[in-house]
Structure 1
Amino acid sequence: MTDPKVDLHNYLQAARDALLWKLDGLSEYDIRRPMTPMGTNLLGLVKHLTGVEIGYFGATFGRSVEFPPWVTDDAEDNVDMWATADESREYIVGQYRTAWAHADDTIRALPLDAPGRVPHWPGDRRDVTLHRILVHVLAETHRHAGHADIVRELVDGAVGLRADNTNLPAEDRTWWESYRTRLERAAREADQG
């Protein structure tokens, strides 16, 4: 049997690593370019999760930490979802790694049943434990890593779980084009009824 806290922490780290891997080999433009109608972009996902980790593993448990400038009450709406031209990749990734270190310290220091409080949550859910926050941040990080999977595929076609494991069938481009055509045909047939 393994320690449940260790398991949750390991899965969180895997999601963090997967998210950052999606930046590898891309230009500054490609990590910032909005790839969906709502503007979803790779570096913005990293920036957003920086604030998530700092907030949930910091103030929630009364642990002080310096917030990045985009995590303030008077910040512009959605400013955590994109990087300005003067916020470098190194700066955003560095802030994310600093948030990890702070979160990791909190996770190691507190038991899973340690109480915390999330002031911006509804009153009936405001009082939490480290376990609940760890599950919440784990789910949110994996959710955004999934967004990053899709965004990266849209940017340059790169896919996969990790650099050493795509977790997809090892087929060539022709096979994937045929597969996609087959799915498109099935969707159209289903729509016609």
Structure 2
Amino acid sequence: MTRVDPDRLGDERAALTQHLAYQRATMLIKLDGLDDEALRRPMTASGLNLLGLVRHLTVTEHGWLLTIYGGVPDPYLALDEQPGAEFRVDADEPTEEVLALYRETCARADELVAAGGLDDVVTTPWGAEVNLRAILAHLVQETARHNGHADLMREAIDGTTGS
């Protein structure tokens, strides 16, 4: 993913989709130059690490855009039964596969969003109605929030700040 500054004069759809794309790319930039050990290094008392943040964002994007909005079956349902599981990456999972799955999930989500309308309403598994506009706004804030976590983790690993 290449990070492109959002068009500050774009319409609502452009603002939402471009800001989401920017935040997604920012997360991947936070990982640049780190080896596998650094990406998997536990950085909090709960064991959270940078690769776990990417796993969480993959699960979140899939859940909201592919499953709830697009109707695609959710391969991550079993994770709901294990507290914190969506933030964990197994030791035998290759890092590049975790990152590739995030990129693939984002690309599939972008296709659904491009074909949909911001006023499209879907019902969540817990019975709440939500439109595509609200889903996109939620994903922008969710990704940006975890970019903040990634900022702190990256600085603790090697002193890199910014971006």
Structure 2-normalised TM-score? 0.88
Secondary structure, counterpart of 1:128 in structure 2: strand
1:1-193 aligned at under 5 Å gives the runs 1-64=9-72, 67=75, 71-73=76-78, 76-120=82-126, 123=127, 126-161=128-163
Q: Given that residues 32 and 82 in structure 1 are in contact (C-alpha distance below 8 angstroms), is that contact kept between their aligned partners in structure 2? A: no
Secondary structure, counterpart of 2:31 in structure 1: coil
Report the AA paired with residue 37 of structure 1.
A
Q: Percent identity?
A: 39
- Aligned counterparts of 2:162 and 2:10: Cα–Cα separation in 1: 27
- Aligned counterparts of 2:70 and 2:20: Cα–Cα separation in 1: 21
Larger of the two Rg values belongs to structure: 1
- Aligned counterparts of 1:59 and 1:89: Cα–Cα separation in 2: 24
Extract unaligned runs of 5+ from structure 2: 1-8
- How many residues align? The count is 154
- Inter-CA distance 18–151: structure 2 relative to 1 (3 Å threshold): same
Offset of residue 84 of structure 1: 1.2
Structure 1-normalised TM-score? 0.75
Q: Given that residues 58 and 102 in structure 2 are in contact (C-alpha distance below 8 angstroms), is that contact kept between their aligned partners in structure 1? A: yes
- Aligned counterparts of 2:132 and 2:93: Cα–Cα separation in 1: 31
RMSD: 1.5
- Aligned counterparts of 2:159 and 2:70: Cα–Cα separation in 1: 43
Offset of residue 72 of structure 1: 2.2
Extract unaligned runs of 5+ from structure 1: 162-193
